Chains A and B, each alone.
Chain A
Amino acid sequence: GAGVSQSPSNKVTEKGKDVELRCDPISGHTALYWYRQSLGQGLEFLIYFQGNSAPDKSGLPSDRFSAERTGGSVSTLTIQRTQQEDSAVYLCASSLAVDGYEQYFGPGTRLTVT
């Protein structure tokens, strides 16, 4: 079946602009996760959703970052007033449920802030 999909695959934006990144999980997966991967920081957790609720937002770097999930499916990660340090690959993953299930990653969105 179809895997996790993300859009756009690449995004170049100017410093100070807002961006939205989209994630479409594997059909039937109730849990959805956002991670960020950059050269200096490795792969780091941002937020996860169980259904439409976000039990853990502890990884969001600042209040410029927000995420939502509607209908238990698609999720959007929004970064306001982008900064150069936001440049990274943003990865989305999904799992059947939170408890005891593997997470499968999408292809990622490469964000470059100029």
Chain B
Amino acid sequence: QKEVEQNSGPLSVPEGAIASLNCTYSDRVSQSFFWYRQYSGKSPELIMSIYSNGDKEDGRFTAQLNKASQYVSLLIRDSQPSDSATYLCAVKGGGGTSYGKLTFGQGTILTVHP
């Protein structure tokens, strides 16, 4: 079992729709969760962080965390063609000296078509 798994995609949604990206993780002691967006040929850009169970909203983005289910998701409302990118789920934590590192999922490619 991979440490961080994302829905494989690719995901295609029409402009204006809600895009839903999902991620599960295996390490129960993980404490911090992040979503990065990566455009082709560019480096990852942080778009959301979430540390507590529940929802966190920032503009058109909502991150949801359920530690009991070891599940984190990202909703993008009113999707725009400019949202087309690869979305990376990253999990931080665990214990000991590995606390600092991020473990990434394989990414989900999102395409928003006009």
Q: Which residues of A contact B (CB under 8 A)?
A: 31, 33, 35, 42-45, 48, 50, 55-56, 58-59, 89, 91, 98-100, 102-108
Asked if residues A43 and B88 are in contact (CB atoms below 8 Å), the reply is yes
Q: Which residues of B contact A98 (CB under 8 A)?
A: 99-100
Asked if residues A59 and B101 are in contact (CB atoms below 8 Å), the reply is yes
Contacts A42-B107, A43-B88, A100-B51 known; A48 to B45 CB distance under 8 Å? no
Asked if residues A48 and B100 are in contact (CB atoms below 8 Å), the reply is yes
Name which of A42, A58, A59, A98 has the most chain B CB atoms within 10 A of its CB: A42
A43-B44, A55-B99, A108-B43 known; 13 other A-B pairs, CB under 8 Å? A33-B101, A33-B102, A42-B105, A43-B104, A43-B107, A45-B103, A56-B97, A58-B97, A100-B32, A102-B34, A103-B34, A105-B43, A106-B43
Q: Which residues of B contact A44 (CB under 8 A)?
A: 104
Kindly report which residue of chain A lies nearest to residue B42, judged by CB atoms: A107
| B1: min CB distance to chain A, Å | 15
Q: Which residues of B contact A56 (CB under 8 A)?
A: 97-101
Kindly report which residue of chain B lies nearest to residue A105, judged by CB atoms: B43
Q: Which residues of A contact B88 (CB under 8 A)?
A: 43
Q: Does B46 contact A (CB under 8 A)?
A: yes
| A100: min CB distance to chain B, Å | 7
**Once the chains are docked, how many angstroms separate the CA of A62 from the CA of B69?**
36
